[in-house]
């Protein structure tokens, strides 16, 4: 029942009243609360800086539609109460979530107000109605302390306001009020006498018990007109009940625990505590106008669903983009993997062919070395013969030196010389090896006809290698392009994820929705 009531009340709330409630819950923090109350304390003028601040914040919301604000207010309540988000396509889903908000607030409320549970048990009220009545009674108890400061004229105005409301009630309800107050008639004198003897809280509670919540909005708007009672400067409409909120927040019993609990050193923690403490007050601000006149009309909750669906569909679109992005990334990763497999196969094939060519070159070189009838290679043959002659001369010189090495000192001298000769021999042998390599290249280039079969096979392998090189180059280009595409997709992925996080931040509960 409370869920249905709260959802109906939320949808009916509109205009400046809606913006004031939203500003109170969403734009209030512990620093602003303390600073504005400090300004009240040091200011020479009688004003409520907190009220002014709330009004200023509300005025900043004029560019937002009522639909956007209602949804944001609803979602902020689910966030503060730490309820899991859901889909709000249907009226029942909204009503159920509103019921969860009320249930959470009720548990927190009874923890902080030890006498509240007994009060709830003793009265035939729903959880939401009990919280509203309790808070208004606390406000009226505060009022009892201030009534002694009212002038005779202000007392008359208050009495006339109450009397006018009671006289407008059906006779049956008037009789019940008389019976509960123990009076024969209700006049301005009787009203003033009851207030003086029992207090406004008793009188007001009795009237509300009989007539309903409409009295709260009537009396608070009337009290707001009495300058100086609460120090309220806001222009209140017929259903604006922020008067009670301001009185509640101005109470040192509400502010001091916030300050003593850690002050600015624990700002985030205190802000969370403040916002949790504001939930019952905000529920009262949302519900009281509706409870005062629930018969006006039935409210269509689709205004919340439509506003939520707009955000949800945008979120789904981002989610779908991300799914497609992941699919494209998987496709590209597979394509890159397949291309790399082909590339590795081509490179391995190329290495095998290069090894075959190297083997054939070595065979040709061996043939040239062993062939006494090898072809004439112009200057290479002359260089080869020259190097071979020099090697033979050096070898003969070594043999000669060793033959005439008889003494210890001569053997040392011989060893030094032969070592030098051997070094020269090794250098010339490397030159000979280089000459044979050049001969092989000459054979392969067909400058000299020799080992035709091996030469032809080398040419076949080289053609195959050239084809492989083209394929390798093409594969490398494809891999680079695919990797660039993948990199662009990852950039888009990060962008989409950031947009989704922003959406989740702006619309609490989206992250809780499980999507296929």
**CA quadruple 242, 243, 248, 252: dihedral sign:** positive
pLDDT digits (tens, 9 = 90+) for 343-352: 999 999 999 9
Among the listed residues 242, 276, 316, 267, the one whose alpha carbon sits nearest the alpha carbon of residue 51: 242
CB-based contact 258:270 (threshold 8 Å): yes
- Over pLDDT 90: what percentage of the chain? 45
Q: Which of 58-67, 280-289, 399-408, 476-485 has the lowest mean pLDDT?
A: 399-408
Question: For position 239, what pLDDT does the model report?
Answer: 28
Among the listed residues 499, 508, 510, the one whose alpha carbon sits nearest the alpha carbon of residue 73: 508
pLDDT digits (tens, 9 = 90+) for 292-324: 776 666 778 888 999 999 999 999 999 999 999
Query: In Å, what is the CA distance from 274 to each residue of 85, 115, 281?
Result: 22, 21, 11
- Both structure tokens of 432: 């000979």
Average pLDDT, the chain: 82
Question: Higher model confidence: residue 288 or residue 60?
Answer: 60
CB-based contact 48:231 (threshold 8 Å): yes
Question: Higher model confidence: residue 191 or residue 369?
Answer: 369
pLDDT digits (tens, 9 = 90+) for 321-368: 999 999 999 999 999 999 999 999 999 999 999 999 999 999 999 999
Q: Which of 182-186, 232-236, 411-415 has the lowest mean pLDDT?
A: 232-236
- Both structure tokens of 469: 């090189």
CB-based contact 237:173 (threshold 8 Å): no
DSSP state of 85: P
Diameter over CA atoms, the chain: 157
Is pLDDT of 501 > 80?
yes
Place of tokens 């806001």: 234
Nearest 5 degrees, angle CA 286-CA 292-CA 293?
A: 105
Indicate the domain borders of the chain. 2-300, 302-374+450-516, 386-439
pLDDT digits (tens, 9 = 90+) for 63-90: 999 999 999 999 999 999 999 988 898 8
DSSP state of 84: P
| Pairwise CA distance, residues 328 & 251, whole Å | 60
CATH of domain 302-374+450-516: 1.20.120
* Count, residues in the chain: 516
Among the listed residues 26, 28, 11, 27, the one whose alpha carbon sits nearest the alpha carbon of residue 66: 11
Average confidence (pLDDT) over 245-262: 47
pLDDT digits (tens, 9 = 90+) for 212-222: 777 776 666 66
3-class DSSP state for residue 1? Answer: coil
Question: For position 256, what pLDDT does the model report?
Answer: 46
User: Phi, psi at residue 386, to the nearest 5°?
Assistant: -60, -45
- Both structure tokens of 446: 């067909």
Query: In Å, what is the CA distance from 29 to each residue of 33, 255, 336?
Result: 6, 12, 53
- What are the residues whose beta carbons fall under 8 Å from the beta carbon of 118, sequence distance 6 or more? none
Highest mean pLDDT among 88-102, 128-142, 278-292: 88-102
Is pLDDT of 246 > 50?
no
Query: In Å, what is the CA distance from 81 to each residue of 31, 221, 280, 291, 365?
Result: 22, 30, 11, 23, 88
Binned at pLDDT 50, 70 and 90, residue 403 comes out as confident
CB-based contact 298:41 (threshold 8 Å): no
| Pairwise CA distance, residues 391 & 190, whole Å | 142
| Pairwise CA distance, residues 97 & 7, whole Å | 9
Which of 30-38's residues contact partners 24+ apart within 8 Å by CB, and which partners? 30/258, 30/267, 30/270, 30/271, 30/274, 31/264, 31/267, 33/249, 33/255, 33/258, 33/274, 34/255, 34/258, 34/259, 37/250, 37/255
| Pairwise CA distance, residues 452 & 301, whole Å | 93
| Pairwise CA distance, residues 11 & 69, whole Å | 10
| Pairwise CA distance, residues 164 & 183, whole Å | 17
| Pairwise CA distance, residues 78 & 72, whole Å | 10
**Residue 36 CB neighbours (<10 A):** 21
DSSP state of 229: S
| Pairwise CA distance, residues 289 & 276, whole Å | 22
**Residue 84 CB neighbours (<10 A):** 11
| Pairwise CA distance, residues 317 & 330, whole Å | 20
Question: For position 6, what pLDDT does the model report?
Answer: 94
Place of tokens 């990763």: 333
Place of tokens 């992005």: 325
| Pairwise CA distance, residues 369 & 450, whole Å | 13
Highest mean pLDDT among 112-121, 216-225, 232-241: 112-121
- Over pLDDT 70: what percentage of the chain? 81
Average confidence (pLDDT) over 428-438: 95
Question: For position 221, what pLDDT does the model report?
Answer: 60
């Amino acid at each position: 029942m409370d869920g249905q009531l709260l959802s109906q009340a939320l949808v009916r709330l509109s205009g400046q009243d809606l913006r004031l409630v939203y500003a109170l819950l969403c734009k209030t923090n512990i620093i602003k609360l303390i600073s504005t109350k400090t300004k009240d304390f040091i200011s020479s003028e009688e004003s409520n800086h907190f009220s002014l601040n709330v009004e200023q914040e509300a005025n900043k919301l004029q560019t937002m539609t009522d639909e956007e604000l209602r949804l944001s207010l609803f979602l902020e309540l689910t966030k503060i109460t730490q309820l899991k988000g859901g889909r709000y396509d249907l009226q029942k889903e909204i009503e159920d979530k509103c019921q969860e908000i009320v249930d959470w607030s009720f548990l927190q409320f009874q923890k902080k107000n030890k006498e509240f549970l007994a009060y709830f048990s003793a009265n035939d009220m729903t959880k939401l109605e009990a919280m509203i009545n309790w808070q208004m009674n606390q406000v009226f108890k505060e009022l009892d302390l201030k009534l002694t400061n009212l002038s005779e004229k202000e007392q008359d105005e208050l009495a006339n306001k109450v009397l006018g409301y009671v006289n407008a009630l059906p006779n049956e309800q008037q009789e019940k009020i008389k019976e509960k107050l123990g009076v024969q008639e209700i006049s301005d004198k009787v009203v003033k006498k009851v207030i003086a003897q029992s207090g406004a809280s008793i009188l007001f509670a009795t009237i509300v018990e009989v007539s309903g919540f409409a009295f709260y909005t009537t009396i608070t708007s009337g009290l707001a007109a009495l300058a100086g009672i609460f120090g309220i400067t806001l222009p209140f409409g017929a259903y604006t009940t922020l008067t009670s909120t301001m009185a509640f927040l101005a109470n040192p019993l509400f502010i001091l625990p916030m300050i003593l609990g850690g002050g600015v050193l624990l700002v985030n923690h205190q802000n969370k505590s403040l916002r949790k403490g504001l939930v019952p007050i905000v529920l009262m601000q949302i519900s009281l106008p509706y409870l005062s006149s629930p018969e006006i009309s039935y409210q269509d909750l689709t205004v919340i669903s439509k506003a939520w669906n707009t955000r949800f569909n945008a979120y789904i679109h981002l989610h779908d983009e991300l799914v497609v992005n992941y699919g494209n990334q998987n496709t590209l990763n597979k394509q890159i993997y397949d291309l790399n497999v082909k590339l590795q196969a081509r490179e391995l094939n190329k290495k095998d062919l290069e090894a075959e060519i190297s083997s054939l070159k070595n065979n040709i070189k061996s043939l040239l070395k062993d062939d006494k009838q090898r072809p004439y290679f112009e200057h290479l043959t002359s260089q080869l013969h020259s190097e071979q002659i020099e090697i033979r001369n050096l070898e003969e010189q070594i043999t000669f030196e060793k033959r005439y090495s008889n003494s210890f000192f001569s053997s040392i001298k011989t060893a030094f010389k032969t070592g030098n000769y051997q070094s020269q021999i090794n250098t010339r042998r490397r030159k000979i090896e280089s000459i044979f390599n050049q001969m092989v290249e000459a054979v392969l280039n067909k400058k000299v006809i020799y080992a035709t079969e091996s030469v032809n096979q080398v040419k076949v392998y080289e053609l195959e290698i050239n084809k492989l090189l083209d394929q390798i180059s093409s594969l490398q280009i494809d891999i680079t392009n695919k990797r660039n595409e993948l990199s662009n997709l990852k950039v888009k992925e990060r962008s989409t994820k950031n947009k989704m996080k922003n959406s989740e931040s702006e619309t609490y509960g989206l992250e809780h929705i499980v999507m296929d």
